[in-house]
Amino acid sequence: MTLKIGLVSISDRASQGVYEDKGIPALQEWFAGALSSPFTTLTRLIPDEQPVIEATLRALVDDEGCQLVLTTGGTGPALRDVTPEATLAVADRVMPGFGEQMRQISLKFVPTAILSRQVGVIRKQSLILNLPGQPKAIKETLEGLRDSEGSVVVPGIFAAVPYCLDLIGGPYVETQEAVVKAFRPKSAQKPVP
């Protein structure tokens, strides 16, 4: 089974063409280097409107069959930032560890990371994650932080994503370990051919 990933950039100004969206290209580039398993992406650039976000997330999971959906943008405390509310509205189950880990990573750089309201949820057999909007922060959140020798000191959230997908009935996803090493218990690892 090929992993189908929905990438959603949520921005009033980018969706109106005021400036170029950088979230979706950053995610596409990251996945191209991070995954060794086959995958396809579907992209959406939409405004900060809760009904539009909810409808987009539902369509990507229910109609398009995405097993993984990543959003960028709209997770701060501003009045227009409604991505977490929209994500929670379509959720069957909340996965709080994803938001906790994203904030832990960001706190290594900026004290305002505590203002982030990113969430992770499951809808049917799909994992939906709210990521930051900046390309540098997207990469750090997914990969984690390394020391000067290249050893991981703070794990990124993507290390847990492949096993989460296994548990909810998604495809077996393998990563390029130089970018991010997927963690699975020994009992869940497929034998190397």
- Are the C-beta atoms of residues 50 and 89 closer than 8 Å to each other? yes
Q: CA-based diameter of the chain, in Å?
A: 52
Residues in contact with 132: Cβ distance below 8 Å, sequence separation at least 6, in sequence order: 72, 75, 102, 106, 116, 118, 138, 141
Report the candidate in 111, 137, 3, 135 with the shortest Cα–Cα distance to residue 66.
Answer: 3
How much is the pLDDT for 184?
A: 95
How much is the pLDDT for 86?
A: 98
How much is the pLDDT for 122?
A: 98
Tens digit of each residue's pLDDT, the chain (193 residues)? 899 999 999 998 898 888 999 999 999 999 999 999 999 999 999 999 999 999 999 999 999 999 999 999 999 999 999 999 999 999 999 999 999 999 999 999 999 999 999 999 999 999 999 999 899 999 999 999 999 998 889 999 999 999 999 999 999 999 999 999 999 999 999 887 6
* CATH for 3-188, options being 3.40.109.10, 3.90.1150.10, 1.10.287.3510, 3.40.980.10: 3.40.980.10
State pTM to two decimals: 0.96
Orientation of helix 23-34 relative to helix 135-143, angle to 10°:
30
Report the candidate in 100, 102, 103, 69 with the shortest Cα–Cα distance to residue 86.
Answer: 69
The token duo for 58 is 């539902």
- Are the C-beta atoms of residues 57 and 130 closer than 8 Å to each other? no
- Are the C-beta atoms of residues 131 and 70 closer than 8 Å to each other? yes
Q: For 188, which DSSP code?
A: G
How much is the pLDDT for 85?
A: 98
